């Protein structure tokens, strides 16, 4: 686990324009100094990420967020309710060099979040500047939710990879656009269920516009393992690995080819296990990965969103 020396080494590497793998409570991130265009370019390079897809600026606290983003009253009430934590706000960019053009993909908005993981917070405080950090996977693949998976994906590109243990949430942050003269929009389902955001906001969230330029993260074929993914499966077919959910009425024995996202049917536990189990399944080079039905309420909506993309369906 990361100690104080590791934290300082990571902050130092970021300040010098190098990359660092950082644990967060959602997924592991591939971090760079947000103001350093060369370092940010190295992120796009390491991930094979299209440059029109902007990055999230991570900051230590609300004050630091307000230094880069215009947060209106709606945004502030969400920030107060959910930060530090898995909420990302897309708001007008204040201007200046703190989050470079490349990091924002040239948009006049910025995505900002205050992560809750103590190691991430310590690095941000020590770095003293916004750190952009997309999920540490190569583009299109499932996000890494533990240190080993992160190192396997993008470890070659970084100066240091901090180990913060397995991610508590396991799904990326929920992304909400809070822009002037526009309703609150849900840009990406994530670790905070839609209903929880709506309860604090006091309004229903509008859907993301389908215009890919305004909602760049909504690409199909995301979060995808190599093996084909089959959804709403009652059990495995020959050669498939099965990801079950809940108590199994067929009493299928668990083993390397049959895993359970949550034996007790807990969506939080399933979210935390999802990407690591998809990866574990994929490592067995199966004919396919079959996944049991997941209820579509609460966190289940985000889990099903990721599964549909893993299966190659447009969200
Ligand atoms: O949980 C998370 O959010 C993780 C951890 C590392 O913090 N990060 C993460 O970053 O998931 P990434 O780059 O994989 O996803 C960022 C999402 C993308 O869907 C991107 O399109 C969207 O945020 N985004 C970023 N800036 C935006 C902007 N200005 N307008 C609209 N969408 C934006
Ligand atoms: Mg990602």
Cβ of 134 below 6 Å from ligand 1 = yes
Atom number, ligand 1, closest to the C-alpha of residue 53: 21
Same domain, 236 and 201: no
Task: Say yes or no: 175 and 28 in one domain.
Answer: yes
Same domain, 100 and 190: yes
pLDDT on residue 223? 82
Residue 299: CATH number of its domain? 3.40.50.11030
Burial 265-285 (b: 16+ CB within 10 A, else e): eebebbbbbbbbbbbbbbeee
Q: What is the mean pLDDT of residues 199-215?
A: 80
Q: Are residues 168 and 251 in the same domain?
A: no
pLDDT score recorded for residue 222? 73
**Does the beta carbon of 54 lie inside 6 Å of ligand 1?**
yes
pLDDT over 70 percentage in the chain: 94
Looking at the domain assignment, is residue 220 inside a domain?
no
pLDDT at 315: 45
Q: Is 178 in the pocket of ligand 1 (CB under 6 A)?
A: no
Structural domain contains residue 39:
yes
Query: What would the pLDDT profile of 48-97 be if each residue is shown by its tens digit?
Result: 999 999 999 999 999 999 999 999 999 999 999 999 999 999 999 999 99
Q: Whose CA is nearest to atom 20 of ligand 1?
A: 217
Distance of CA 31 to the CA centre of its chain: 13
- Domain limit, last residue, from 207, 239, 268: 207
Out of 158, 176, 207, a domain closes at 207
What's the chain's average pLDDT? 94
Q: What is the pLDDT of residue 208?
A: 86
Q: Which protein residue's CA is at the shortest distance from atom 18 of ligand 1? A: 217
pLDDT in tens, 276-294: 999 999 999 999 999 999 9
Residues 196 and 161 in one domain: yes
Tens of pLDDT along 4-17? Answer: 999 999 999 999 99
**What's the CA-to-centroid distance between 286 and ligand 1, angstroms?**
31
CA 251–ligand 1 middle distance (angstroms): 40
The residue among 207, 241, 265 that closes a domain is 207
Is residue 56 in a domain? yes
Structure tokens at 35: 């103001």
Distance CA 39, CA 41 (A): 5
Report the alpha-carbon distance of residue 19 to residue 263 in Å, rounded.
38
Q: Is residue 291 in some structural domain?
A: yes
Domain containing residue 92: 4-207
Query: Of all atoms in ligand 1, which is nearest to the CA of residue 214?
Result: 31
| Interval 132-157 mean pLDDT | 97
Q: How far is CA 46 from CA 30, 50, 145, 154, 265, in A?
A: 9, 11, 18, 6, 36
21 and 159 share one domain: yes
Residues shown for the chain: 315
Tell me how far the alpha carbon of residue 202 is from its chain's centroid: 25
Does 175 score more than 80 pLDDT? yes
Pick from 101, 111, 188 the residue to mutate for probing ligand 1's pocket: most ligand atoms within 8 Å of its CB.
111
């Amino acid at each position: 686990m990361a100690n104080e020396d590791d934290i300082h080494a990571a902050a130092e590497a970021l300040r010098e324009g190098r990359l660092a793998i950082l644990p967060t409570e959602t997924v592991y991130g591939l971090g760079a100094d947000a103001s350093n265009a060369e370092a940010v370019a190295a992120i796009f390079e390491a991930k094979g990420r299209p440059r029109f897809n902007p990055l999230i600026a991570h900051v230590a606290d609300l004050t630091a967020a307000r230094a880069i983003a215009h947060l209106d009253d709606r945004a502030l009430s969400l920030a107060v309710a959910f930060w530090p934590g898995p909420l990302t706000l897309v708001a007008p960019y204040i201007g200046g060099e703190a989050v470079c053009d490349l990091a924002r993909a040239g948009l006049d908005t910025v995505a900002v979040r205050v992560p809750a993981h103590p190691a991430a917070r310590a690095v941000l405080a020590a770095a003293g500047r916004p750190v952009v950090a997309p999920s540490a996977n190569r583009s299109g693949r499932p996000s890494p939710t533990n240190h080993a998976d992160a190192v396997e994906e993008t470890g070659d590109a970084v100066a240091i990879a901090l180990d913060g243990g397995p991610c508590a949430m396991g799904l990326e942050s929920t992304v909400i656009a809070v822009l002037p003269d526009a309703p609150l929009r849900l840009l990406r389902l994530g670790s905070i269920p839609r209903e929880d955001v709506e309860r604090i906001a006091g309004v229903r969230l509008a859907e993301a516009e389908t215009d890919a330029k305004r909602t760049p993260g909504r690409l199909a074929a995301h979060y995808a393992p190599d093996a084909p993914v089959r959804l709403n499966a009652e059990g495995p077919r020959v050669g498939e690995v099965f990801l079950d959910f809940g108590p199994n009425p067929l009493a299928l024995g668990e083993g390397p080819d049959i895993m359970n996202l949550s034996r007790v049917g807990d969506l939080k536990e399933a979210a935390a296990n999802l990407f690591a189990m998809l990866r574990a399944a994929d490592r067995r080079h199966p004919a396919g990965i079959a996944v049991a039905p997941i209820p579509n309420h609460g966190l289940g909506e985000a889990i099903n969103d990721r599964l549909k993309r893993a299966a190659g369906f447009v969200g």
